[in-house]
Structure 1
Amino acid sequence: MKDKKLILALVCLLLIFSNLATYHYTRNSGNSSAEKDLFYHDSGGQVEETEPEELKLFVKIFNLLQNRYLEKVPPEVMIKGAIDGMIKSLGDPYTYFMDKDELENLFIQTTGTFSGIGIEVTLVDDRVTIIAPIKGSPGEKVGLLPGDQILALDGNSIEGVSLVEAVRMIRGAEGTKVALTVKREGLKELLQFDVTRENIRLETVHYEVMEGNIGYIIVTNFDEHTGMYFKKALEKLEEAGIKGLILDFRDNPGGLLQGGIEMAEEIVPSGPITYTVDGDGEITRTYYSYAKAKDYPTAVLVNAYTASTAEIVAGALQDSGGAVLVGEPTFGKATVQHIEQFYGEDVGLRYTVAKYLTPCKNDLSKKGLQPDLFEELPEIFKYYRYPFTRDLRRGDYGEDVLYLQKMMEFLGYQGGAEGIFDDKTEENLKGFQKDNGLNPDGLFTRHTARKLRSRVEEVLLQHDTQLQMAVKYMSRE
């Protein structure tokens, strides 16, 4: 085991020293499927017999500490510490070592699929609580609801279990079953649900036709299916005869580069989409679009959380004149990562191998894209998404109380000392509860939180100043 762990450490060290060489191999191998924002590669367990000169001191220190240090330290602990130290020395937040759970979550993000019951969960008062079931999922079909607390799985209590571990237990092979013991607010008896796991696909593209015959497409992330579903959505909208198109990339963190390239090939006017460059600034690859320019105006909504692949597509549209950007400056992530998966190990290494440039060869690192039409959103857009993790009552204080007050003020319930659940806050909450058919007890529970967020969302669209600016732009064109 010690030798196996040491070999893994040596592989990681070799990869960090030779990332540019690895990228050179990847881009010249002719494997176009590997050309992604996240490159994948399996080392196959092959390690050179000859010890590199740079590693001799490392091995000497490792062996010395293993044999002579005062206390016995597991070799895997020392190796993990050495790997963390090597990675930290790079000063790159996008290069990091991944354990089994991180690898699994990355796989879900990039493929857009997982096997489970299809529920989003969080911890509320240290209990696993359902945020929402995914539409059409097994969880929705059996009747699980937002706010349900999962107390046990297959009869075994999960009280005190971490959220990551609970999610791992809920997931499982397609066709297998899991029994959930659920506490639902307002009911004394616990509920039992037997759910059969299915293969769940996460939707990353949503579209509709807005008033004025304007097409609207939200892209939440880029996975291996995004390009295909964007193409279908755009075809549906164009068949409906849209007079303009708004693409919403707000809060889109990026994802697979290939998903973004496939989308850009449908919407970016003929020309370069992006360039990738190596550590010396030399262009290693150019991605092209051969699409015809659209005969309707296009606007892209962006904000400070529009990043990576989303910035590539938005930047290509801006530089090519295919669209205007509306909103706020973007995040500024302009690097491409490679994922090294180690044969026989449930771990991986994600590390940076290249930068990308926009068609006008702008480097977006740190500064991001600058919108053509700058517009900030009202503060309520920050408050209404806040994940309340405890019940609130008179006498409580903190950031969650402040966000509760801001949401009620947005709906017309004014007053109360900021961040303090005082008498006025309780009075306002009772008024909201009474107006919305709830028990006016002045307690901010999960049920009241869901109703408050729902009421805010009903009128939120009327206050989306960035979307409104994009619509105005359409009317001028």
Structure 2
Amino acid sequence: MTFRTRTVAIIVAIAVLLSSAVTALVLKFDELLLAITQPGFSIGSDSKGMDEQINKFKQAYGLIKGNYIRPITDQQLIDGAIKGMVQSLGDPHSDYMDPKDANEFKTGLSSSFSGIGVEITVKNGRLTIVSPIKGSPAEKAGLKPEDQIIKVNGQNIEGMDYREAINKIRGPKGTVVHLDIVRPGVQDALKISVVRDEIKQRTVEATMLPDQLGHITITQFAEGTADDFAKELARLEKQGMKGLILDVRSNPGGLLQAVLKMLEHFIPEGKTLMITQDKEGNKQVYKSKGKGTKPYPIVVLIDKGSASASEIMASSLKEAGGYTLIGETSYGKGTVQSAQTFDDGSTLKLTMAKWLTPNGNWIDQHGGTKGVKPDIQVKYPDYWTAIAPRPKESLKLDQNTVEVKNMQIILRALGYHSGRMDGYFDTSTEIALKAFQQTKNLPVTGQLDEKTAIELDKAFLALKKDPKNDLQLQVAIQTLKKKMRE
């Protein structure tokens, strides 16, 4: 058995929703059959022999209900039938959720909750990270987009039911989950430990950089994001902002209504923001109701973790607003889901359409252009994907491991040149580690023990958080300054 192909958010459900809750009736089995066999029920042209299929369904239901050795309820059978239909679609973004899972889905778009802070999809039967949320335990631990989770706390989860696997990753605040990760381009599996925590969804962060340049980071498009964004934008403008950087890196998406409302601050009235297209080819065009453009230049930062609603924002600002995109090609999620909630609290989330950019481009990674392309491509430095090692036993001379390689990469990034970068712990590596220990007032042993590992992790995290070391941000700043001089 392989994972059911669908997207699951561990601590936050990320989907572009046309509607978040549409009430429908939950029919009893006989009523359900009656409803779908009525003359007015819509059946596709390819559904020949529908009566035969309904009879087959009735027979299977009767056989199970009447003969299965263990207790079984109508609800279990109907839920199983719906799940089976959704699973047969092979769509990673369509899902049927029982009341408990549906409640977690809705909670993911509200205030705060506990988890590791990452959105997960399924690719080729493996749990695969779409994006860790900025500032989350997952990001701090070094998890990256496209990382594949193969073990949880030492247990192989390949082939396990996806909900069972997700439940193993979840857990109370303050507890640790140990993950084995396969990372594209890295030969050996990585071992990463993440401390679960409460994820407070402060989805908008705004700061004024030197030279009156505003920097607004949007971590997710959730309830309240559009209002918070408007307040922060107004605050920066009141302070005399001369240029703006909109940052949707590692933003896995969210509510469609939120991103459309935010785009109207920058796109003039009447211009197309996005287009949706259903299976029949019918298109709905979403146009701006905004008042006009801003008097200052704007650039947008994107990366591989920018998905869904983030891509709507980036593509609209580029094609309808003429603003410059900087960074890496985005994730490539070009479909739209609608969520229908039933009376018992269960929810069917179904892909109903694909969305197109203002120029009619489909950016989906399955059949589309595979993401939104930046105007100025800037990759993260090589050390950005390194993971600070937390070995159970000290790393020392003559060892040859992935953890040693990560330590060497981080030491060099911090200015301690370790010589080799291939994972072999030689004397040059030992000298570099001793220099780091001396700087941090640690026992100078030349071994990476627990205390040294903690300090190395702190120093590396501080390095990455320093705006001066954020190459993409620095390019955005220089691009804005150039535009301000034009």
Q: TM-score of the superposition, structure 1-length normalised?
A: 0.68
Partner of 1:138: none
The answer to whether the 8 A contact 2:20-2:338 is kept is: yes
Partner of 2:323: 323
Partner of 2:438: 434
| Mapped partners of 1:81, 1:389: distance in 2 | 43
Are 1:59 and 2:58 an aligned pair? yes
Q: Quick one: structure 1 residues 293 and 390, their matched pair in 2 at CA, closer, same or farther if it must change by over 3 Å?
A: farther
| Mapped partners of 2:350, 2:389: distance in 1 | 31
The answer to whether the 8 A contact 2:418-2:430 is kept is: no
Partner of 2:26: 45
Q: Which moved more, 1:392-401 or 1:454-463?
A: 392-401
Residue 340 of structure 1: SS of its match in structure 2? strand
The answer to whether the 8 A contact 1:326-1:375 is kept is: yes
Considering only aligned residues, what root-mean-square deviation do their CA atoms show, in Å? 3.9
The answer to whether the 8 A contact 2:307-2:332 is kept is: yes
| Mapped partners of 2:330, 2:19: distance in 1 | 20
| Mapped partners of 2:469, 2:272: distance in 1 | 36
1:24-423 alignment runs, 5 A limit: 36-37=17-18, 39-46=20-27, 48-49=31-32, 50=34, 52=36, 53=51, 54-68=53-67, 72=70, 82-99=81-98, 102-114=101-113, 164=167, 201-270=200-269, 271-344=271-344, 347-366=346-365, 367-383=370-386, 393-394=395-396, 398-411=401-414, 412-416=416-420, 418-420=422-424
Q: Deviation at 1:204?
A: 0.6
The answer to whether the 8 A contact 2:395-2:404 is kept is: no
| Mapped partners of 2:199, 2:62: distance in 1 | 47
1:2-33, Cα deviation, whole Å (9 max, x unpaired): xxxxxxxxxxxxxxxxxxxxxxxxxxxxxxxx
| Mapped partners of 1:243, 1:226: distance in 2 | 23
| Mapped partners of 2:248, 2:267: distance in 1 | 15
| Mapped partners of 2:246, 2:420: distance in 1 | 39
Residue 109 of structure 2: SS of its match in structure 1? helix
Q: Deviation at 1:463?
A: 3.2
| Mapped partners of 1:390, 1:58: distance in 2 | 54
Residue 274 of structure 1: SS of its match in structure 2? strand
The answer to whether the 8 A contact 1:299-1:324 is kept is: yes
| Mapped partners of 1:438, 1:56: distance in 2 | 75
The answer to whether the 8 A contact 1:342-1:348 is kept is: yes
| Mapped partners of 2:429, 2:352: distance in 1 | 53
The answer to whether the 8 A contact 2:268-2:288 is kept is: no
Q: Which moved more, 1:101-110 or 1:315-324?
A: 101-110
1:225-279, Cα deviation, whole Å (9 max, x unpaired): 1101111111111111111111111111001111111211222333221222211
Q: Quick one: structure 1 residues 43 and 299, their matched pair in 2 at CA, closer, same or farther if it must change by over 3 Å?
A: same
Residue 359 of structure 2: SS of its match in structure 1? coil
Q: Deviation at 1:417?
A: 6.1
Q: Which runs of 5+ in 2 are unaligned?
A: 1-15, 37-50, 119-134, 142-154, 156-163, 177-197
| Mapped partners of 2:89, 2:381: distance in 1 | 38
Amino acid at match of 1:237: L
| Mapped partners of 2:232, 2:454: distance in 1 | 30
Q: Quick one: structure 1 residues 120 and 93, their matched pair in 2 at CA, closer, same or farther if it must change by over 3 Å?
A: closer
Number of equivalent positions:
382
Partner of 1:189: none
Q: Deviation at 1:72?
A: 4.7
Residue 21 of structure 2: SS of its match in structure 1? strand
Q: Quick one: structure 1 residues 447 and 355, their matched pair in 2 at CA, closer, same or farther if it must change by over 3 Å?
A: farther
Q: 1:464 aligns with which of 466, 470, 474?
A: 470
Amino acid at match of 1:451: E
Q: Deviation at 1:104?
A: 4.1
Q: TM-score of the superposition, structure 2-length normalised?
A: 0.67
Amino acid at match of 2:471: T
Amino acid at match of 1:41: V
Amino acid at match of 1:303: D
Amino acid at match of 1:288: S
Query: Of Structure 1 and Structure 2, which has the larger fraction of its residues in helix?
Result: 1
| Mapped partners of 2:452, 2:79: distance in 1 | 45
Residue 380 of structure 1: SS of its match in structure 2? helix
1:289-333, Cα deviation, whole Å (9 max, x unpaired): 323111111000011111111111111110123411011111111
Partner of 1:155: none
Q: Deviation at 1:398?
A: 4.7
Q: Deviation at 1:218?
A: 0.6
Q: Quick one: structure 1 residues 422 and 102, their matched pair in 2 at CA, closer, same or farther if it must change by over 3 Å?
A: farther
The answer to whether the 8 A contact 1:38-1:336 is kept is: no
Amino acid at match of 1:212: D
Q: Which runs of 5+ in 1 are unaligned?
A: 1-34, 123-133, 136-145, 148-159, 171-179, 183-198
Partner of 2:458: 454
The answer to whether the 8 A contact 1:277-1:355 is kept is: yes
The answer to whether the 8 A contact 2:326-2:374 is kept is: yes
Percent identity of the aligned residues?
A: 30
| Mapped partners of 1:463, 1:181: distance in 2 | 31
